[in-house]
Structure 1
Amino acid sequence: MRKGFRASVLLTSGWMVATALSSPAFAQGAQPAQPMQNADSAESNVGLADIVVTAQKRSQNVQDTPLTITAVSGDALVKAGIQQVGELNRIDPALQISAGAGVLTTFIRGVGNPVTTAGNEASVPVYIDDVYFIRAAAPFFNLSSVERVEVLKGPQGTLFGRNASGGVISVYTRDPSTGEFSGEMSAGYANYDTVDLKGYINIPLTDRLAANYSVSYHNQGKGWGRNKQLVDPFDTSKGFLPGGDDYWKDKSLSMRGKILAELTDTTTVKLIGYYQNSTSEIGFNVRPLPGSIGGTPDGAHNGFANVCGLHPCPSQVLPTLGFYDVSLPLTRPAGSKANRGPQYDKSEGYGFSGRIDQELGFADLVSITAYRKNDEVFFANGNTSPYAWAFYDLNIVDKQFSQELQLKSKPSSAIQWIVGAFYLNADGGFGPTLITGPAVNGFGLASIGLFGQQKVKSYAGFGQTTIPIGDRTHVTAGLRYTKDKVIGQGCTQITLLPDTALPCTDDTVTVPDTSPTFKKLTWKGAIDHEVAQDVMIYGSLSRGFKAGTFNTLPLDSPALRPEVVDAYEIGLKSEMFDRRVRFNLALFWNDIDSPQVTGQRNGLVALKNAGSARTKGVEFDAAFAPTQGLTLRLAGSYLDAKFRDFPDAPSYCPSPKIDAATCATLSPTPPIAPGNINAIFVNGNGNTLPMASKWKFSGSVSYEAEVASMGKATFDLTANYSSKFPWDADNLWYERAHFLLNSSVSLSPESLENVSLRFWMKNITNRKVNLGYYAQASGSAFGSAPAAPRTYGLEASFRW
Structure 2
Amino acid sequence: MRVFKSTSAFAAVVSLFCSDVLAQNPAPVKNRLIEEVIVTSQKREQDVQDVPLAVLAFSGDRLDAMGITEQTDLQRITPGLNVTSQVSYVVTFLRGVGTDAVTAADPSVATYIDDIYYPFASNLAQNFGAVERIEVLKGPQGTLFGRNATGGAINVHTKDPDFDEFYGEFLSNRGSYNYQLDRLYTNIPITDSFAINLSAMYQVTDLLYEGTRGLDKDPFPKDRTRGYRIKARWQPSDYVDINLATFKLRLNGAGANVAFNADPSELGRLNGIEAQTGYKGSIDAPVYTQTEDNTVYYGDIKLNTPWFDIKLVGSDQRMDTAGVRDFDGSPEAISTFDTPSQYIDAQSAEIQLLSNGESGPSWMQWIVGGYYFEGVNGFETLNFIVNGIDLGAGQLAGIQLPDAFTNILNQANVLGVDGAINLSGLTGTDSYAFFAQTTFTLTDWLDITLGARQQVEEKYIYRSTVGLNNQDGSQTQIADNSNRATDSDGNPHPARDEQKSFSPKVSFEFRPLEQDMLFYLSWQEAVKSAAYNTVAIYDEPDYVAQEEITAWELGMKSTFFDGTVRFNAAVFDYDLANLQTPYISLFAGGVIAFQNAGAAKIRGAEFDGMVVLLPKLIDNLVLSGGMSYLDSEYLDFDNASGFDDDGNFQEDLNFTGNQVIRSPEVSGNIALSKTWGLSNGEIETTIDAYYTDSFYYEPSNRQNTVQDEYWLVGARVSFLYSPWDLRITGSVKNLLDEFYTNGIFVTDYGVQPSLAPPRTYSVQAVVNF
Query: Under TM normalisation by the shorter chain, which class is it?
Result: 0.7 to 0.9
Residue 321 of structure 1 is matched in structure 2 by 276
Please report the TM-score for the alignment, with normalisation by the length of structure 1. 0.83
Q: What letter matches 1:586 in structure 2?
A: A
Q: What letter matches 1:576 in structure 2?
A: F
Residue 459 of structure 2 is matched in structure 1 by 486
- More displaced, 627-636 or 419-428? 627-636
Cα deviation 1:587-607 (Å, max 9, x = unaligned): 000000111111121181121
Mapped pair 1:723 → 2:716: no
Change (3 A) 1:121 1:108: same
Residue among 435, 439, 443 paired with 2:384? 435
Q: What letter matches 2:226 in structure 1?
A: L
Q: Secondary structure at the match of 1:758?
A: strand
Change (3 A) 1:47 1:368: closer
Q: Distance in 1 between matches of 2:446 and 2:459?
A: 42
Mapped pair 1:759 → 2:714: no
Shift of 1:106: 0.7
- Which runs of structure 2 are paired with 1:193-208 in the superposition (5 Å)? 193-208=178-193
Contact 1:295 1:316 in 2 (8 A): no
Residue among 428, 446, 451 paired with 1:455? 428
Change (3 A) 1:229 1:422: closer
Mapped pair 1:66 → 2:52: yes
Structure 1 residue ranges without an equivalent (≥5): 1-41, 234-240, 299-313, 333-340, 656-675
Q: What letter matches 1:788 in structure 2?
A: P
Residue 738 of structure 1 is matched in structure 2 by 710
Shift of 1:407: 0.5
Q: Distance in 2 between matches of 1:48 and 1:203?
A: 29
Mapped pair 1:519 → 2:500: yes
- Which runs of structure 2 are paired with 1:38-117 in the superposition (5 Å)? 44=30, 48-116=34-102
Residue among 615, 622, 629 paired with 2:602? 615
Cα deviation 1:179-222 (Å, max 9, x = unaligned): 111001122211211111010000111111111001111000x3
Q: What letter matches 2:88 in structure 1?
A: G
Shift of 1:50: 2.1
Shift of 1:574: 0.5
- More displaced, 90-99 or 54-63? 90-99
Q: Distance in 2 between matches of 1:347 and 1:610?
A: 36
Contact 1:294 1:384 in 2 (8 A): no
Q: Secondary structure at the match of 2:49?
A: helix
Shift of 1:611: 0.8
Shift of 1:225: 2.3
- Which runs of structure 2 are paired with 1:6-405 in the superposition (5 Å)? 44=30, 48-116=34-102, 118-139=103-124, 141-220=126-205, 222-227=206-211, 247=220, 249-284=222-257, 286-289=259-262, 292-293=263-264, 315-318=271-274, 320-329=275-284, 341-394=286-339, 395-405=341-351
Shift of 1:343: 4.4
Q: Distance in 2 between matches of 1:161 and 1:574?
A: 28
Cα deviation 1:422-464 (Å, max 9, x = unaligned): 0001110111111247567877322321111111000100000
Contact 2:464 2:535 in 1 (8 A): no
Contact 1:101 1:378 in 2 (8 A): no
Residue 629 of structure 1 is matched in structure 2 by 620
Contact 1:565 1:593 in 2 (8 A): yes
Q: Secondary structure at the match of 2:543?
A: coil
- Which runs of structure 2 are paired with 1:561-600 in the superposition (5 Å)? 561-600=545-584
Shift of 1:504: 5.2
Contact 1:113 1:596 in 2 (8 A): yes
Q: Secondary structure at the match of 1:78?
A: helix
Q: Distance in 2 between matches of 1:631 and 1:692?
A: 29
Q: What letter matches 2:720 in structure 1?
A: S
Please report the TM-score for the alignment, with normalisation by the length of structure 2. 0.86
Q: Distance in 1 between matches of 2:32 and 2:88?
A: 43
Residue 632 of structure 2 is matched in structure 1 by 641
Q: Distance in 2 between matches of 1:473 and 1:83?
A: 39
Residue 424 of structure 1 is matched in structure 2 by 373
Contact 1:286 1:383 in 2 (8 A): no
Change (3 A) 1:705 1:43: closer
Shift of 1:93: 1.5
Structure 2 residue ranges without an equivalent (≥5): 1-27, 389-408, 487-493
Residue among 662, 674, 693 paired with 2:664? 693
Contact 1:99 1:772 in 2 (8 A): yes
Residue 661 of structure 1 is matched in structure 2 by none
Q: Secondary structure at the match of 1:88?
A: helix
Contact 1:247 1:326 in 2 (8 A): no
Contact 1:139 1:276 in 2 (8 A): no
Cα deviation 1:353-399 (Å, max 9, x = unaligned): 11000011200000001001011012112311113443222121211
Cα deviation 1:486-541 (Å, max 9, x = unaligned): 11131112233344532352124542231110110001110101122201111000
Q: Distance in 2 between matches of 1:391 and 1:84?
A: 30
Q: What letter matches 1:507 in structure 2?
A: N
Change (3 A) 1:703 1:315: same
Residue 762 of structure 2 is matched in structure 1 by 793
Residue among 437, 460, 475 paired with 1:501? 475
Contact 2:266 2:648 in 1 (8 A): no
Residue 4 of structure 2 is matched in structure 1 by none
Change (3 A) 1:596 1:286: same
Shift of 1:223: 2.4
- More displaced, 280-289 or 688-697? 280-289
Q: What letter matches 2:737 in structure 1?
A: N
Change (3 A) 1:347 1:598: farther
Q: What letter matches 2:117 in structure 1?
A: Y
Change (3 A) 1:107 1:137: same
Residue 397 of structure 2 is matched in structure 1 by none
Contact 1:295 1:385 in 2 (8 A): no
Contact 1:742 1:764 in 2 (8 A): yes
Change (3 A) 1:717 1:359: same
Residue 353 of structure 2 is matched in structure 1 by 407
Contact 1:177 1:210 in 2 (8 A): yes
Identical-pair percentage: 27
Cα deviation 1:332-368 (Å, max 9, x = unaligned): 6xxxxxxxx2344545311111100001120000000
Residue 546 of structure 1 is matched in structure 2 by 528
Mapped pair 1:469 → 2:442: yes
Q: Which has the higher strand share?
A: 2
Shift of 1:629: 2.3
Residue 672 of structure 1 is matched in structure 2 by none
Change (3 A) 1:267 1:711: closer
Residue 511 of structure 2 is matched in structure 1 by 530
Contact 1:701 1:718 in 2 (8 A): yes
Contact 2:77 2:625 in 1 (8 A): no
Residue among 757, 775, 783 paired with 2:746? 775
RMSD value, Cα: 2.4
Contact 1:409 1:416 in 2 (8 A): yes
Shift of 1:551: 1.8
